[in-house]
Amino acid sequence: MKSVICVLLIFFTATTSFPQSGWISQPSGVTSGLNGISFTDSRTGTAVGNADVILRTTDGGSTWARQSIADSYGTGDLHAVSFSNNNTGIAVGTVFSTAPGYPTYLGTWSMTTNGGSNWSFGGGGMGILDGIFCISANVKIFVGNRGVIGRTTDGGSSWYAVYPYVTTANLKGITFADVNKGTVVGDSGTIFRTTDGGTTWIRQLSGTSNALKGVSFIDANIGIAVGDSGTILRTTNGGAAWMIQMSGTTNRLMGISFIDVDTGTVVGDGGTILHTSTGGTAGVKDDPGYTTHIPDKCALKQNYPNPFNPSTNILFHVQSKTFVSLKVFDLLGREIATLVSGELSAGDHIQPWNAANISSGVYFYRLQAGAFIETKRLIVLR
């Protein structure tokens, strides 16, 4: 079987152009999950993660230095960080409290005014907090489980939740382009947009069912969201349409920070840090196959990565709302997996597949969307 796979690899390399990524891996020095990232200029940034990990760079991510943090509840996980300038920032997260008679997860926050040389514990007691954004030194907005959105207007001395909740989905990331225009993301591809400072929120279509963990807007129109299975989405019209980018990884991506249209950093599982200086594209423009949210025809794209072990992503376009079936078959035509079976909206979709229990070999994946049918080959390689 290995010799057959090697021959097929040579064939596919010669005949297939696989999607390329505009993201470059940077060494983080840690293996624990990184959940949040905030850059204030092209060189100065802070990343946070599990087990109270805090990393600081002053050279654009070439090197990262550990910082320490302590709170009155003990070690927890930091989920997000945001700086309003190079010195002033806030990190939010969760710690498990073992207080007598009240064991529970508590949301916590800590602040720094000297670039992280010292972090002061701000408090705890709220629900799980997953996202934070500093609109200014005094105004900060957070998001969390079950659709909670809250804010402080006095620098963190007092916090309050924004009612009514706009969704019951867990919200994971938040960003504001200015004091009025903001975006939140969360589970099941959830995206909401505000243009009045958070008083009202309008749902947007992301084109994915993957959980979205982080979001960053460069201005009112250009933004990037990241999430499970290496998902990266980009918009150039304020979220009215989102297009898929190649991340080059299937790791869960948790946080993102852009400082201009070209320069950005993503963090994720296993200490992942990805950096781009091209806006996330492999060249000077996006792959033409992914430049529109409402495609003029159905299409099935080559999975990426390919070959893979054990996870890959399958991208496809749906022209109009219709019943969609996406299945995987072996060389004998036997059905191996059903990845999609149901009605999907028009747009670009990305479907991950974990083949951990599948043997090495060549398989076929077939998309049927209404009258459209297309089949492509993929390779599982241990």
Tell me, which fold does domain 24-286 have in CATH? Methylamine Dehydrogenase; Chain H (2.130.10)
Residue 199 has pLDDT above 60, yes or no: yes
Q: What sign for the dihedral angle of Cα 351, 356, 362, 366? A: negative
Reported CATH class of domain 2-18+290-380 = mainly beta
Using an 8 Å Cβ cutoff, are 71 and 120 in contact? Answer: no
236: left (phi over 0), alpha (psi -120 to 50) or beta: alpha
Q: Which residues contact 68 (CB under 8 A, 6 or more apart)?
A: 52, 54, 119
Confidence of residue 205 (pLDDT cuts 50, 70, 90): confident
Confidence of residue 72 (pLDDT cuts 50, 70, 90): low
Using an 8 Å Cβ cutoff, are 112 and 87 in contact? Answer: yes
Confidence of residue 86 (pLDDT cuts 50, 70, 90): very high
Rounded to whole angstroms, the Cα distance separating 304 from 83 reads 34
Q: pLDDT tens-digit profile of 245-273?
A: 877 788 899 999 999 988 999 999 999 99
- 192 or 165, which is more confident: 192
Rounded to whole angstroms, the Cα distance separating 200 from 271 reads 36
Mean pLDDT, residues 114-132: 82
Domain ranges of the chain: 2-18+290-380, 24-286
Mean pLDDT, residues 128-156: 89
- 127 or 239, which is more confident: 239
Rounded to whole angstroms, the Cα distance separating 298 from 163 reads 40
Residue 2 has pLDDT above 80, yes or no: no
Tell me what pLDDT residue 101 has: 58
Residue 97 has pLDDT above 80, yes or no: no
Lowest mean pLDDT among 28-37, 88-97, 127-136, 279-288: 279-288
pTM for the structure as a whole: 0.70
- 227 or 160, which is more confident: 227
Tell me what pLDDT residue 219 has: 93
